[in-house]
DNA sequence: ATAAAAACATATCAATATACTAGGATTTCA
DNA sequence: TGAAATCCTAGTATATTGATATGTTTTTAT
């Protein structure tokens, strides 16, 4: 039931961008430095978030990334799905039936787990997680 | 967030034993055949359940395994923990702090996920999952 | 124009974990 | 005493993960 670094880094990356929301696009290099994650690896992850439409990018010098909508409109579930973190503990819970799913006594619990996880990640947004910026 | 085969096989194995609860010990070979899982691999898994005290074994000819307590007293959480399936998506959610856990904005969501999963697996027992045996 | 800075794209690779196999040693019953 | 079963530990192939490497394209500033 562990989550991969893609999911963890993806969320941290998005939280970083959420902290900069409203300002200029942020270069990946900056995020990588702040979060202490390999820039090249983050590049792959941020592209998935980009293709999923969660962020928008500006190419060229002084380019960078920014959230494509407000932090309160981006759920953790949106992010995890974008970087292909499966939310179900087994594929069958996503109705990708296996040979024995007809008689599988274990299936209901996997579905319950999946629903419980979805309940959490779909109801928490970046805004919920953002540390209160102590601007005075 | 995928569960390993150890977790899946472990639960199926226990459900199989739950179906035989009250009768004679069941040989692993039979379970392996019924569930279509490698006997040698199941052997390792069943030993973990044995050491955790969820099942008891009878050695020698005509030996086998049986649940050590009633199906309604064995939760799915008991089983998953016995075979070392982590219920938290990240170690930090289990209070194994990492360097950045002090300022980690992502930590709360991992804890929420962990608690949601625990809520499910600790409140479902083998008896809940056992198909109604149509003994008439 | 040109150089620098940044995003975009894809291939490759090393480390790790998973899933499974192998080969016995021990115990018990018939 | 031998067959059937549990017990124990080491080894191994495969898949996944996490990361590098190399380069292309786009844009801005000089």
* Spatial separation of the C-alpha atoms in residues B24 and A99, rounded to whole Å: 29
Predicted model pTM: 0.94
Distance A39 CA to C1 C1' (A): 31
Q: Is the shortest CB-to-strand distance from B33 to strand D under 7 Å?
A: no
Confidence of residue B18 (pLDDT cuts 50, 70, 90): very high
A96 touches chain B (CB under 8 A): no
Residue B67: count other Cβ atoms within 10 Å of its Cβ.
Answer: 20
pLDDT bracket for residue B94 (50, 70, 90): confident
Cβ pair A116:B116 closer than 8 A: yes
Q: Do strands A64-67 and B55-58 pair parallel, antiparallel, or not at all (unpaired)?
A: unpaired
**Closest chain B CA to residue A75:** B109
What domains, with CATH codes, occur in chain B?
Answer: 5-129 (1.10.10.10)
B83 touches chain A (CB under 8 A): no
CB contacts of A121 in chain B (<8 Å) are 109, 113
* CB proximity B129 to A under 8 Å: yes
CB B88 within 8 A of CB B114: yes
Does the beta-carbon distance from A113 to B106 stay under 8 Å? no
pLDDT digits (tens, 9 = 90+) for A16-37: 999 999 999 999 999 999 999 9
Tokens of A34: 């702040």
């Amino acid at each position: 039931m562990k989550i991969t670094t893609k999911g963890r880094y993806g969320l941290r990356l998005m939280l970083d961008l959420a902290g900069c929301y409203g300002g200029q696009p942020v270069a990946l290099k900056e995020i990588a430095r702040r979060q202490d994650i390999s820039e090249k690896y983050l590049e792959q992850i941020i592209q998935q978030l980009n293709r999923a439409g969660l962020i928008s990018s500006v190419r060229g010098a002084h380019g960078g990334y920014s959230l494509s909508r407000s932090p309160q409109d981006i759920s953790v579930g949106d992010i995890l799905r974008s970087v292909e973190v499966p939310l179900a503990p087994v594929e069958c819970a996503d109705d990708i039936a296996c040979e024995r799913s007809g008689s599988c006594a274990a299936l209901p619990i996997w579905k319950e787990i999946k629903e419980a996880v979805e309940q959490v990640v779909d109801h928490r947004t970046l805004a919920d997680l953002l540390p209160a910026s102590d601007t005075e």
